[in-house]
A and B are shown apart, each in its own frame.
Chain A
Amino acid sequence: MKGLMLIAQLFWQHERGPLLRGWLLATVVLLFGIALLGLSGWFITAAGVAGLLGVGATFDFFRPSAGVRFLALGRTVTRYGERVLNHDATLRTLALLRVQLLAAMMRQPVQKLAQTRGSQTLNRLTADVDALDGLTLRLMTPIAAAICCLLIAGALLAWLTHPLMALMVLLPLGAGCAAILLLPARRSRAAASEAEQLAQQLRSGTIDLLRASTDLLMYGAMQRHLRALIGKDRQARQALATVDQLERRSGLALALLVTSCSTLALLVGIYLVQSERMTAAQAALGFFATLAITEVVAPLRRCAAELGRIMDAASRVSALLGQTPDESPDESPDESPDESPDKSPDKSPDKSPDKSPDKSADKSADKSLDSTPDLTPDATPDDKPAADPPAESVAVATAPARSAPARSAHASQTRSFAEIRTPPALQFDRISYAAPDRTQLILEDFSCSLATRETVALTGASGRGKSTLLQLAARLLHPTQGLIRINGQSLQHLPEGEFRQLLTLLPQRSVLLGGTVLESLRLADQQLDEEAAWRVLDAVAMSAVIRNAGGLSARLLEAGSGLSGGERRRLALARNLVRQAPILLLDEPTEGLDAATAHTVLDGIRRHAPAATILVAAHREAERAWADRTETLD
């Protein structure tokens, strides 16, 4: 119910005017319909009586006939307006709701995202939102209009015919409708929500079956899974049959109610005419008006089943909307202002990081000293003026301003003067990490620093946390203990946009989007032009493949499935290079590539990003040889 209120609120907030107008028009349509039939019945009967009495010539036929024509046309036009208005308002709100939902999903922590099965999430976003259109179109507007119309029609009927007529017709009708609407509500809600759930299972089961089809086929499991899915469909259709049966019963009850009420109108008419409290023409008016009123209640037939479906969908959708967002830095209010990045551009960037990057007492100190002479002498920062200098200026400007309490005591004691002046591009300071549901530490007390333009290979057996470390640095995970700094600045305090400019990660599994090759690359940079696109494709040795496939406008299939594994990997890498970030984290970048291609690609990366600081989770000799030095996780 709470979910329903939240969604109703959303409708109210965004489309109050159109919805109110739509409701008004809906009421007018119903009243016009009642008036048209009532007036026609009265007119014929009254005319007949006048004709019988021989006073036909004095009978005022002008106003009734004009009324009949006006009501006939007015009703049609109003109906059209009402439908367009209500549907437009409803569908616009739903489009907005879809976008809000996607935005809510995007704010979720990455781990939670990974747990949400894509297909289920899709079910929520499409089926549930689709179901919500019934809230206004089939529940709120018809019910509100019906109630309003019954009250007004009742008053008019009492005035034009006899109060007894109004009372005897509308009381049973109102009570009957309420009963039809409310009595099966619970059962119908349960059945409808079961049907919906089964339909969603059918959908995600289908996606599973198709995506895993090769494995299922090879292990002779296809038929079994197919049968299971067909069984699921049978269950879903059975649940739907229950819903439909309840709905048909409501329909039967409603038809009987309508017959009873019209019969009642006839009986009351006979009684009142025979006791001379009403004319026959008034009785005709009462009966025909009643016939038309029954049209008002026809849409209520589906309401009970609809209500169940809508309430279910609303509770799921609003739960998704209301989820606590990821703790993102720019939203934490308790941040001290001096830690926010200072973007003063006049500080000239220090482009010669010849000082030892890290003299802290951690185990990597020796190695980083060793590697200092190797530091990319051929680097030409001028190649990338857009990406590099701002990053370094941030570092220079903010390092002295950093407040001591943010650091661990250990780190502040061992920090040297030189290091404060040019902090390491990327620094892990006593990082420990355990997955949320496990107690076992994946990383324990790990420290390491990378100087600007240094390439460091991360090695260690599977499960030692290489990928985890990269994910921590990319802020997809948060360390249980310790700090990660970029240019001396704690990762937690960088605003998201700026942080993503500074650093990019090629994860172990990356997903390519469908669409053209260019669109796929443009995910990383909307402004990417074709020339730049060919440059990155060159860097990852993909330009020949893409040219053969039809150039940048060649279409990729779902998740890039038109390409081989190695080609997908290189395209994902190209997408990362497009970012031109000063820090590159690469999780096994040459996976699925043969040795020659792997060398070409690694050389291409360096050539394309000569000034970048690179941390690579490596297991291949080629990747290790490519790096300036190695850090081992054990």
Chain B
Amino acid sequence: MSRRADRTDDPLVRLTAGATARLRKASSLSVVASLLWIVQAGCVGVLISQLTGSSEHSASPWIAAALFALTGLARALLEHHSAGLCFQAADAVIATARQTLLDAESRRSPLDPERPASAEVAALLTEKIAVLHPYLMRYAPARARVMSVPVVILLVCLPVSWVVSAILLVVGPLIPVFMALVGMAAKEASEKHMKQIGTLNAGLLERLNAMTDIRILDAAAQTLKDFRESASELHTRTMGVLRIAFLSSTVLELFSAIGVAMVALYTGFVLLGEIGFGYWSRPFGIGEAVFVLMLAPEFFQPLRDLASAWHDRAAAQAVAEELEILAENATLRIPGLGGVAAPSFVPQPHQALLRSTDLTWTTPAGKTLFFPDILAYPGERIAIRGVSGAGKSTLLALLAGQLRPQSGELELAGHALGEDNADHWRAHIAWMSQSPWFINASLRDNLTLGGSNDNAQDLTHALSLASIKPLVDNLPRGLDTQLGESGNGVSGGEARRLTLARLALTGRPLILADEPTSDLDADTAAAVMDGLLSLADKGSTLIVATHDPQLMSRMNRIVTIGDEA
């Protein structure tokens, strides 16, 4: 009972539960393949005893050789099939694990303080989850072989000589003891190693992204020195893990070698007549001796296989734990799925489009922000202002349905934000972020984000509204230009105007813009302002977080967070 409880406590068991059936079948095939070696050993024993002329078997040695070959063929085919099944199992587990991770992380709020660096998630998703593959390919069959093959070999050797069985019986069980000791150390070392890889990669990505700053600050030499240190630390740690791994396999090999050598020496001395015990009614012959000599290494082989798979298991376990911890630490989740939805909320006459009452937000650091109530009627223009750090961005995220308010009420045309209607809710809101991230796709894809509207006329109109059309027309590949990380080749002003065009393209009734005129020169700021206001003129409600007095002056109303700036 307690054993069962232990097993379900293991994150790896939970992660790979779906693979059990396939792995069980693969394991049986693998066990049968291993046992066929006993037949092959028998063939060779008979054959050699015939060659020495000591055999009472009348069959020709050629027949034994043929049987040896055929059994070998069957064995190879069984092993091949078993490996195929394991691959299918591993593939299915990895597919599920990746999908689960992507689902969870994509819906984690950027305001979640536990949100890991994107490069860390990417590393987990690709190379770390891939560690499950060798584990699933090797561990279960090896484990099944350990449970059965040594026992069968022990029983088969017993009729020949109880001493041989005794040697194997004594040396064999020592192995798991050592293995467990070494395995525990390996697991700990391997966990450290995996963590190190993640942070090294994240640090490297950061430095590569900050390369211009590093150049300007003349910090290249220092950065390189730091990186050299972390690379060499990684090397030391990796070697630490490997030394333990090698040591454990060395222990195994040592036992296996000692076992085989003892069997060889014992049988040799019995055949010479130097030793007179350990056999039953009469001493065994050359054939039997060869037979047990061939079986001795196979007695240890499953243990060695399991030991090397043990390290795969340790690595897989570390990944499974990391996946679970990551999932458990996700405190701030974005409601909804981020799917496509069509806007359909229509405010009743005299009903506000957006209404918030007594909203508060407690930051993870424990600071509680109290937000002023907002009542926005269709077509209204509202500015939210506050000193830096007063919570303008947090309030905007709340209003945009990116966070569920901890207390207070929030309604869009009379509909409260809930888990089920979040996508639908947000479909009414056009969002303009302060520092957009352009995905690795064409300018067109970045503008439409795969949404419904890539109608050429609407695109042209949106680009004109954002006064970025001439610039796009000037690009050699126009809307097919590829954008890179942080919008390469796109200046701050261009990026802002592109997000304005993106927003205009949707035609949504509520516009939320976070500092829409920051980072911009006067002309561009004016252009962005005009663009936003012309959308408001067409009936959209406009809410901006800003500190720009010019933008504020063009709003109907100003709401202040915290004390007056």
Task: Decide yes or no whether B443 CB sits under 8 A from chain A.
Answer: no
Task: Give chain B nearest CB distance to A163 CB in angstroms.
Answer: 19
Task: Decide yes or no whether B542 CB sits under 8 A from chain A.
Answer: no
Task: Decide yes or no whether A297 CB sits under 8 A from chain B.
Answer: no
Task: Decide yes or no whether A221 CB sits under 8 A from chain B.
Answer: yes
* 1/0 contact string of A264-281 vs chain B (CB within 8 Å): 001101100100000011
Task: Give chain B nearest CB distance to A89 CB in angstroms.
Answer: 11
Known: A79-B250, A204-B440, A509-B492. A44 touches B268 (CB 8 A): yes
Interface residues of A in 82-110 (CB under 8 A from B): 83-84, 87-88, 91-92, 94-95, 98-99, 102-103, 105-106, 110
Bound Cα distance A566, B521 (Å):
17
Q: Which residue of A lies closest to B436 (CB)?
A: A215
Task: Decide yes or no whether A24 CB sits under 8 A from chain B.
Answer: no
Q: Which residue of B lies closest to A102 (CB)?
A: B227
Task: Decide yes or no whether A593 CB sits under 8 A from chain B.
Answer: yes
Bound Cα distance A247, B214 (Å):
44
Known: A114-B212, A115-B484. A558 touches B525 (CB 8 A): no
Hey, which chain A residues are within 8 Å of B362, CB to CB? Answer: none
Interface residues of A in 529-558 (CB under 8 A from B): 545, 549, 557-558
Q: Which residue of A lies closest to B388 (CB)?
A: A566
* 1/0 contact string of B212-254 vs chain A (CB within 8 Å): 1111111110111001100110110011001100110010011
Hey, which chain A residues are within 8 Å of B180, CB to CB? Answer: none
Check if B565 sits within 8 Å of A594, measured CB to CB: yes
Check if B519 sits within 8 Å of A508, measured CB to CB: yes
Check if A95 sits within 8 Å of B80, measured CB to CB: no
Hey, which chain A residues are within 8 Å of B108, CB to CB? Answer: 213
* 1/0 contact string of A583-596 vs chain B (CB within 8 Å): 00000100111111
Hey, which chain A residues are within 8 Å of B227, CB to CB? Answer: 98-99, 102
Task: Decide yes or no whether B260 CB sits under 8 A from chain A.
Answer: yes
In the complex, how many residues of chain B place their beta carbon closer than 8 angstroms to a beta carbon of chain A? 167
Hey, which chain B residues are within 8 Å of A36, CB to CB? Answer: 257, 260-261
Check if A507 sits within 8 Å of B334, measured CB to CB: no
Task: Decide yes or no whether A259 CB sits under 8 A from chain B.
Answer: yes
Hey, which chain A residues are within 8 Å of B340, CB to CB? Answer: 220-221, 223-224
Task: Give chain B nearest CB distance to A519 CB in angstroms.
Answer: 10
Hey, which chain B residues are within 8 Å of A126, CB to CB? Answer: 123, 127, 197, 200-201, 204
Hey, which chain B residues are within 8 Å of A466, CB to CB? Answer: 521
Check if A545 sits within 8 Å of B113, measured CB to CB: no
Hey, which chain B residues are within 8 Å of A511, CB to CB? Answer: 206, 209-210, 212-213
Bound Cα distance A489, B476 (Å):
38
Task: Decide yes or no whether A208 CB sits under 8 A from chain B.
Answer: yes
Interface residues of A in 271-305 (CB under 8 A from B): 273, 280-281, 283-284, 287-288, 291
Task: Decide yes or no whether B99 CB sits under 8 A from chain A.
Answer: yes
Task: Give chain B nearest CB distance to A265 CB in angstroms.
Answer: 10
Hey, which chain B residues are within 8 Å of A215, CB to CB? Answer: 431, 433, 436-437, 449, 499, 502
Find the residue from B83, B205, B258 having the highest chain A CB count within 10 A.
Answer: B205
Q: Which residue of B lies closest to A228 (CB)?
A: B450
Check if A41 sits within 8 Å of B402, measured CB to CB: no
Tell me which of B84, B208, B523 contacts A118 (CB under 8 A): B208
Task: Decide yes or no whether B26 CB sits under 8 A from chain A.
Answer: no
Check if B431 sits within 8 Å of A44, measured CB to CB: no
Check if B450 sits within 8 Å of A266, measured CB to CB: no
Check if A47 sits within 8 Å of B431, measured CB to CB: no
Check if A209 sits within 8 Å of B257, measured CB to CB: no
Bound Cα distance A21, B515 (Å):
64
Hey, which chain B residues are within 8 Å of A52, CB to CB? Answer: 52, 54, 286
Task: Decide yes or no whether A430 CB sits under 8 A from chain B.
Answer: no
Bound Cα distance A338, B242 (Å):
56
Check if B83 sits within 8 Å of A210, measured CB to CB: no
Hey, which chain B residues are within 8 Å of A505, CB to CB? Answer: 216
Bound Cα distance A463, B472 (Å):
13
In the complex, how many residues of chain A place their beta carbon closer than 8 angstroms to a beta carbon of chain B? 167
Task: Decide yes or no whether A524 CB sits under 8 A from chain B.
Answer: yes
Hey, which chain A residues are within 8 Å of B440, CB to CB? Answer: 117, 204-205, 208
Tell me which of A65, A130, A565 contacts B515 (CB under 8 A): A565
Bound Cα distance A36, B261 (Å):
8
Hey, which chain A residues are within 8 Å of B385, CB to CB? Answer: 594
Task: Give chain B nearest CB distance to A40 CB in angstroms.
Answer: 4
Check if A270 sits within 8 Å of B47, measured CB to CB: yes
Bound Cα distance A183, B75 (Å):
24
Task: Decide yes or no whether A336 CB sits under 8 A from chain B.
Answer: no
Bound Cα distance A95, B48 (Å):
53
Check if A222 sits within 8 Å of B337, measured CB to CB: yes
Check if B216 sits within 8 Å of A476, measured CB to CB: yes
Bound Cα distance A88, B240 (Å):
10
Given pairs A206-B102, A461-B523, 16 additional interface contacts (CB within 8 A) = A41-B290, A47-B268, A73-B257, A115-B488, A126-B127, A212-B438, A217-B336, A220-B423, A222-B338, A222-B339, A270-B47, A270-B65, A500-B217, A504-B216, A549-B365, A565-B435
Bound Cα distance A216, B334 (Å):
12
Hey, which chain A residues are within 8 Å of B48, CB to CB? Answer: 45, 280, 283-284, 287
Bound Cα distance A518, B99 (Å):
38
